[in-house]
């Protein structure tokens, strides 16, 4: 009986001490068009796993790509093709995800059109709000107001 | 009308109250959800176009019509063009009622997050109700999904409805007092979140994501429908709210100035909220689970959890303000429905309030049903959330645009538009002329009609929205939602129109 309990405890401990499967990247924020080394840890045979990426340009559409299989050292090279939030997943031979990781992929250089829209919209909206509020306040406020009764 | 209608304490009070109605979950929850759903920059440019093309002109018309008739929307439209116009007004009011029901359900979830912000939200918790591995979701996501799959939101929904009714019983003055305090505080909170967001690695890139136009997808009619619907929703157009508010205005008011002020204030706040939310979204690389309507529940708490100090206090403050911003808007939504019924039937205010409370509460309860129908969280998780997603698609995506189209046709074609414009011009410094009339009569109806028709074609060819959703044992839920929306808003509109008006001898 004691042996059985010990076995169960040891089994429990060994299960508890199994490291979680994790993905790691050279950079926390990969850049479009730049090679990125993705590593997997916590598995016995990394070469049995493949790396997949799901790009989600918006929540309605997503495109999935297979990047390749991990080397025996547990790494694979990925060249991000789209800006935005993507989900990386390490999958076994049956296609089941062993672990997943979200990453934010950055533009290779500051997008001029984005900066222009941001500045234009900011000036337009805040300028418009300021100008019209000033006009409202300048037009005066009634001294005696009827009671509010909805 | 025998009842004496109150009026606003000051012009600034009206502007703040109207922008308080406009600044609500629409700016924070729905704007970020739609901007993410349609791809950030791909959405923002159509959204800006919608502000000038649709938002400001329709608001001028709604304010003018409300001030001119001193009536709520169905009754204002009845007054200007008879029964056939009244049915469109009731459609708007009833479509708004559906939105109010799930809006209050979302507010109930916010109340749940507010309770969580006192402690549990910031601690790691296993995902109990869903078949997901521990650690697969962030703290805020697991807290949110655990909360919506519990029975707590059923209690929260009752509390939110009760709060709405209490505020309305106290009258417009109480709304004015509340928004004067909470609207400026919400601006401060968002600015604090922006500072947090852009000082985190990757935060600035989130801002680029929001503003960088993606011309390759901007031809998609769905994006334009999303942007136009968002503009109607965020400016409280097509609900009857602005007409109801304007009916309290003095006879002389500069509607053009009021409309531009409210619109610019509202969209400036949305700009600020967008900066805050998208910087945090990128900094934490969050891919929201379930409908994008839920993203606010994950993104902002993640950002707040990374504050160096006062995490609990900031979290508590954020959800308090969100609750208040939502309440001021839901009060407007409920008030516009109440006012429409009183205006037509002349029933006592308390009776109408109680009726709206009971029907609304029953609807809101449906939207917080906690049964898990999608354990993998591939779609919306619970039955209530799935219903929110489905009804939002119809009432928000189509209903508001249909109501806007009806308004434009009624005011532009069935009514003497020249008389309405002359009335608006009487007290406005900027005079509306032939170009504005052309816009209202031709351009806007054609644009909205094209978007609706093209979207409907997409819907028919691509399958009705929700047909591929995971809904557990509830097959055909998407059809039930579609039919429910049609029956409640279109069927109800016909019914309310044919019922006898106060003082009317016979039916129709």
- For the stretch B297-350, pLDDT in tens is 888 888 888 778 888 888 898 898 888 888 878 888 888 888 889 989 999 999
Q: Three-class SS of residue B505? A: coil
Whether residue B271 contacts residue A146, with contact meaning beta carbons closer than 8 Å, is answered with: no
> Residues of B with CB below 8 A from A137's CB?
11-12
Distance from CA of A89 to the nearest CA of B (A): 12
Do B202 and A29 make contact, defined as CB atoms within 8 angstroms? Answer: yes
Distance, in Å, from the CA atom of A141 to the CA atom of A137, rounded to the nearest integer, reads 7
What are the CA-CA distances from residue A112 to residues A118, B9, B202, B222, B273 (Å)? Answer: 10, 46, 17, 26, 22
A9 at the B interface (CB within 8 A)?
A: no
pLDDT at B504 over 80: no
Do B6 and A128 make contact, defined as CB atoms within 8 angstroms? Answer: no
Do A150 and B335 make contact, defined as CB atoms within 8 angstroms? Answer: yes
Query: How would you list the strands of the sheet with A36-41, edge to edge?
Result: A22-25, A36-41, A75-78
Kindly state the average pLDDT of the residues B456-478: 92
For chain B, the C-alpha Rg in angstroms (whole number) is: 22
Start-to-end C-alpha separation, chain A: 78
Predicted TM-score of the model (pTM):
0.87
pLDDT at A141 over 70: no
Whether residue B48 contacts residue A121, with contact meaning beta carbons closer than 8 Å, is answered with: yes
ipTM of the complex: 0.87
Return the percentage of chain B with pLDDT > 90, whole number. Answer: 54
> Residues of B with CB below 8 A from A103's CB?
285
For residue range A9-67, list pLDDT tens digits in order. 444 444 444 557 889 999 989 999 999 999 999 998 999 999 999 987 776 677 899 99
pLDDT at B424 over 70: yes
Identify which of A107, A121, A140 has the shortest CB distance to residue B208.
A107
Q: What is the pLDDT of residue B3?
A: 43
Q: Of B45-54, B60-69, B167-176, B456-465, which has the strongest mean pLDDT? A: B45-54
Q: Three-class SS of residue A87? A: strand
Do A141 and B11 make contact, defined as CB atoms within 8 angstroms? Answer: yes
Output phi, psi for A106, to 5 deg.
-95, 160
Q: Three-class SS of residue B236? A: coil
A144 at the B interface (CB within 8 A)?
A: no
For residue range B65-106, list pLDDT tens digits in order. 988 888 888 988 998 888 999 999 999 999 999 999 999 999
Helices (H), B284-310: 296-305
Whether residue B245 contacts residue B21, with contact meaning beta carbons closer than 8 Å, is answered with: yes
Q: Three-class SS of residue B372? A: strand
Q: How is chain A split among helix, strand and coil, in percent rounded to 5?
A: 30, 35, 35
A87 at the B interface (CB within 8 A)?
A: yes
Q: Three-class SS of residue A102? A: strand
Distance from CA of A115 to the nearest CA of B (A): 7
Distance, in Å, from the CA atom of B344 to the CA atom of B335, rounded to the nearest integer, reads 14
Whether residue B175 contacts residue B17, with contact meaning beta carbons closer than 8 Å, is answered with: yes
Distance, in Å, from the CA atom of A20 to the CA atom of A78, rounded to the nearest integer, reads 22
A99 at the B interface (CB within 8 A)?
A: no
> Residues of A with CB below 8 A from B459's CB?
none
Closest CA to B262 of B26, B501, B422, B104: B26
CA B155, chain centre distance (Å) = 23
Can you give the length of chain A in residues?
Answer: 150
Q: Which residues of B282-293 are buried (b: 16+ CB within 10 A; e: fewer)?
A: bbbbbbbbbbbb
Do A104 and B288 make contact, defined as CB atoms within 8 angstroms? Answer: no
Helix pair angle (B139-148, B83-116), 10° resolution: 120
> What H or E segment, with its residue span, contains residue A101?
strand A97-105
As beta bridge partners, residue A37 has A77
Sign of the dihedral defined by the CA atoms of residues A114, A117, A120, A123, in that order? negative
As beta bridge partners, residue A97 has A91
């Amino acid at each position: 009986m004691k042996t059985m309990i010990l076995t169960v405890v040891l089994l429990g401990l060994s299960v508890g001490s199994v490291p979680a499967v994790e993905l790691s990247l050279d950079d926390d924020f990969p850049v479009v068009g730049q090679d990125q080394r993705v590593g997997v840890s916590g598995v016995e045979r990394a070469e049995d796993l493949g790396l997949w990426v799901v790009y989600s340009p918006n929540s309605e559409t997503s495109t999935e790509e297979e990047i390749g299989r991990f080397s025996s050292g547990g790494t694979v090279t990925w060249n991000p093709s789209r800006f935005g939030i993507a989900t990386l997943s390490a999958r076994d031979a049956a296609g089941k995800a062993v672990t997943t990781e979200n990453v934010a992929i950055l533009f290779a250089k500051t997008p001029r059109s984005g900066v222009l829209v941001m500045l234009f919209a900011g000036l337009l909206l805040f300028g418009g709000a300021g100008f019209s509020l000033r006009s409202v306040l300048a037009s005066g406020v009634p001294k005696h107001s009827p009671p509010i009764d909805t | 009308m025998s009842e004496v209608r109150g009026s606003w304490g000051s012009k600034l009070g009206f502007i703040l109250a109207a922008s308080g109605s406009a600044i609500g979950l629409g700016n924070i929850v729905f704007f970020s959800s739609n901007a993410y759903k349609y791809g950030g920059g791909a959405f923002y440019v159509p959204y800006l176009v919608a502000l000038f093309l649709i938002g400001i002109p329709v608001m001028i018309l709604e304010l003018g019509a409300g001030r001119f008739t001193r009536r709520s929307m169905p009754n204002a439209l009845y007054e200007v063009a008879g029964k056939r116009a009244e049915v469109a007004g009731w459609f708007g009011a009833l479509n708004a009622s559906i939105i109010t029901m799930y809006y209050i359900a979302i507010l109930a979830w916010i109340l749940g997050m507010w309770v969580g912000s006192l402690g549990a939200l910031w601690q790691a918790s296993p995902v109990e109700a869903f078949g997901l591995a521990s650690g697969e979701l962030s703290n805020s996501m697991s807290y949110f999904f655990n909360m919506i799959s519990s029975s707590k939101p059923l209690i929260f929904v009752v509390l939110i409805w009760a709060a709405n009714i209490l505020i309305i019983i106290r009258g417009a003055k109480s709304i004015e007092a509340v928004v004067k305090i909470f609207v400026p505080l919400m601006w401060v909170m968002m600015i604090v979140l922006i500072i947090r967001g852009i000082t985190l690695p990757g935060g600035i890139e989130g801002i680029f994501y929001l503003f960088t136009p993606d011309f390759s997808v901007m031809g998609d009619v769905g994006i334009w429908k999303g942007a136009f619907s968002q503009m109607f929703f965020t400016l409280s157009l097509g609900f009857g709210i602005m007409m109801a508010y304007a009916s309290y205005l003095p006879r002389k008011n500069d509607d053009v100035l009021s409309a531009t002020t409210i619109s610019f204030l509202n969209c400036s706040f949305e700009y600020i909220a967008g900066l805050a939310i998208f910087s945090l979204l990128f900094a934490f690389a969050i891919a929201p689970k379930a409908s994008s309507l839920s993203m606010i529940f994950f993104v902002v708490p993640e950002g707040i959890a990374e504050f160096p100090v006062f995490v609990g206090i900031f979290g508590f403050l954020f959800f308090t303000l969100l609750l208040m911003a939502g309440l001021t808007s839901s009060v407007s939504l409920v008030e516009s429905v109440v006012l429409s019924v009183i205006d037509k039937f002349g029933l006592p205010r308390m009776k109408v309030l109680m009726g709206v409370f009971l029907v609304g509460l029953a609807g809101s309860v449906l939207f917080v049903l906690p049964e898990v129908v999608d354990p993998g969280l591939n779609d919306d998780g619970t039955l209530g959330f799935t219903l929110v997603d489905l009804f939002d698609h119809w009432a928000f995506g189509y209903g508001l645009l249909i109501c806007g189209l009806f308004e434009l046709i009624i005011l532009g074609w069935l009514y003497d538009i020249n008389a309405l414009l002359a009335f608006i011009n009487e007290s406005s410094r900027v005079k509306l002329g032939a170009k504005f009339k052309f816009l209202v009569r031709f351009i806007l109806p054609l644009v909205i009609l094209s978007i609706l028709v093209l979207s409907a074609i997409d819907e028919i060819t691509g399958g009705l929205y929700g047909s591929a959703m995971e809904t557990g044992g509830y097959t055909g839920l998407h059809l039930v939602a579609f039919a429910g929306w049609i029956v409640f808003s279109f069927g109800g509109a016909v019914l309310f129109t044919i019922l006898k008006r106060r003082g009317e001898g016979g039916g129709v």
